[in-house]
Structure 1
Amino acid sequence: MRTPRFTDATLLAGATFAMLAWSLLAHTTLASLAGIGVALWFPASVRLYAVLLHWLPVASGVRTHADYVPPSQQQQHELVASCLLTAACTLTLLIYTPPSEALACAIALNFANLLAQFDRREGWLPNAILMPMLLCGLLAGAGLGYPGSAITGACTAWILGGAGLFALSISLRGNFMSGADALLLCACGAWVGFGGIWAFLLFAGCGLWGVWAVRRTTRTPMVQVAPNAALRPVWRYPLAIPCALGLLPVFLLRSTPLLPHWAQTLLGG
């Protein structure tokens, strides 16, 4: 008797069906419709991200089409798992937050997920993703009623990120002033707002330490050269995954009704 194989297609179908079933049990009509949208977006996001991961580096001149290497099975599993995690967190947010706020957080998490995939595979953060992430963060802040906090958070994250990269350049005697990394921190600051920037930096710092520990275990270099660097190379740390890990707990915790008021304030809630 043949053992049934559990493939990515099986996971996509099963997870989508489970999300649709959850949406039918949502407590409000808006949450139900939002859940259906999340369920349908999950398989579509996997396909869309695969296309972007293939063609955006070619369009940006990072590599040629002839240099394209098909993703390994592990990379494909990572893509599906990250998209599933993003969708699951969005459905979790729909339980205790308004659908508009939950979907705004979902947009940020999708941007962060895509950037983490680019950083993981290419060691590169495309401006074509970073700039829309920053713009959407500012627009979401205006739409949800905290435009000043979004602008202040973006500026604070950019200043602190630039200062950190400058200090890193001095201490390690190398050029770590990566504009893409500073723009990534700026975009994340816009999404979490000024109130949540400190918690975000704390969680992102823990995520960076975790990435360092994993790379040390697997003997993978932590410092890498930014693509398309000039004559003098620009060195950088893989910050996209830590930033995604910093956004996730801030979004999940700041609207949790079980947390005390002071904790929600520290998270920007």
Structure 2
Amino acid sequence: MSAKLPLVGLPADTYEKSGFLFHSLGDKYVRALTDVSKVASVMIPSLLDEAGIDALLDHFDGVLMTGAVSNVHPPHYGEEATEAHEPYDHARDTTTLKLIKAVIARGIPLLCICRGFQELNVTMGGTLETELQDKPGRLDHRGHGEDPDERYKMAHKISIEKNGVLSRILGKSETTINSVHRQGVKSLAPGLQVEATAPDGIIEAVSVKGARGFNLGMQWHPEYKAASNPDSVKIFTAFGDAVRAHLREREQVFYGNKRSA
């Protein structure tokens, strides 16, 4: 195995303060990668164009699309923006929707969480619906309480599709997850397949059909205190293993080309 730590990129959220735009990244995602996946991580700034994304991906062995307070701007999936869809992060949208396409095209390991899960669906041609708790027959998927442990506590079960990516990782047909979201998948993108669903039918996990590399998208937050949750340990370990395998492949190509030069 290479002595070099593989590198995983995570997209930045943006916010304005005192007239300046700031880029930020949640600690819980970095901690899960460090403590469980055993990889190095770096923040991908927003507002990158395709050229900037391609240049960065030359150095990455994995990408983790994080959750966020903001939502994907509805015009990106053909709907009109309303107050119910807010808040937005247009700078993040500018980067992430192109980033996901590039990552899938290259076969780089991809893990998408919450907003990242929704970005994956939009990128692949799907749509989203907002305020799920107001729809007949839907559960209230929002996290409640100011204390993080209360907000991210286990909320409901999910049914896991047999012989799928998530089933192979967790080794079971159902589990219990936290739930901290107002939006969900409305129409599933043609290039995605369902990996798990909630009792009310909301899609909770997906993967990309025929993807060359590891990929998995989840609506819940496995990164929260990942090291103490057995399911999260399995998910982030599987992602870390895939990232390390990608690094080995990159090194074989590099050194093979160097020897033949």
Name whichever structure is richer in strand by fraction. Answer: 2
Larger Rg: 1
Q: What TM-score results when the alignment is normalised by the length of structure 2? A: 0.31
Q: What TM-score results when the alignment is normalised by the length of structure 1? A: 0.30
With CA pairs under 8 Å and 6+ residues apart, which has the higher RCO, 1 or 2?
A: 2
Name whichever structure is richer in helix by fraction. Answer: 1
